[in-house]
Structure 1
């Protein structure tokens, strides 16, 4: 699957966002090493601590189905800014992603790709 195809899947997920408080929709598409794609969107709650980000939704869906090896994740948002993962998502990603797993975001009208080790160097782990 190409990066553009993965981004298109993330945009499909964006349509399911439940974001009545921030009005900031986010979609993610996670590509496993065996070619499966798991999509996720952000799901807000009036108690913001109960909100779940798109990236974690996609990761948790995959892990709950027994998939734990990933090639890439694409993240898109409804705003003009790039959809960089938050700190909590980066920590969850570090649990399941290899240092070279690709993180793809839309930036400046194009795609920008980072590796896990670039977005969270020296991550916490046991």
Structure 2
């Protein structure tokens, strides 16, 4: 997991956050071992930006992968910052409920959880099955 946190920390430095000043980096490992990273990208029509987790997921999907095996998120915050609600649902789209998610701060604090605990009762494809 240290390599994912390092990848998230490195991409965090590229974040475009001129409005909030809050840079976030995310990295995920796919089931086949590839690593994809993303950073938040703000927009003058704030809050119409892109979250770091969404950027990492988009890179993964663009490369043809679909299965998240691990996730790391890092920010310069007093304590490890969790993904927003929308990103929790995005993670749940591509990760099993027990996939490990490590949240980190640039000061070295870490917290570990899983997709299930980030989004209990997640909306899933099965909810759309016709009866």
Output aligned runs, 1:1-126, within 5 Å: 3-106=1-104, 109-126=108-125
Secondary structure of the residue aligned to 1:17 is coil
* Residue deviations 1:24-62 (CA, integer Å, cap 9, x gap): 000011111111100100000011242000000000110
Q: Which segments of 5 or more consecutive residues in structure 1 lack a partner in the other structure?
A: none
Quote the RMSD (CA, aligned, Å): 1.4
TM-score (norm 1): 0.92
- Mapped to 1, the partners of 2:47 and 2:58 lie a distance apart of 17
Larger Rg belongs to: 2
TM-score (norm 2): 0.88
Q: Which segments of 5 or more consecutive residues in structure 2 lack a partner in the other structure?
A: 126-131
Aligned pairs, how many?
124
- Mapped to 1, the partners of 2:30 and 2:103 lie a distance apart of 17
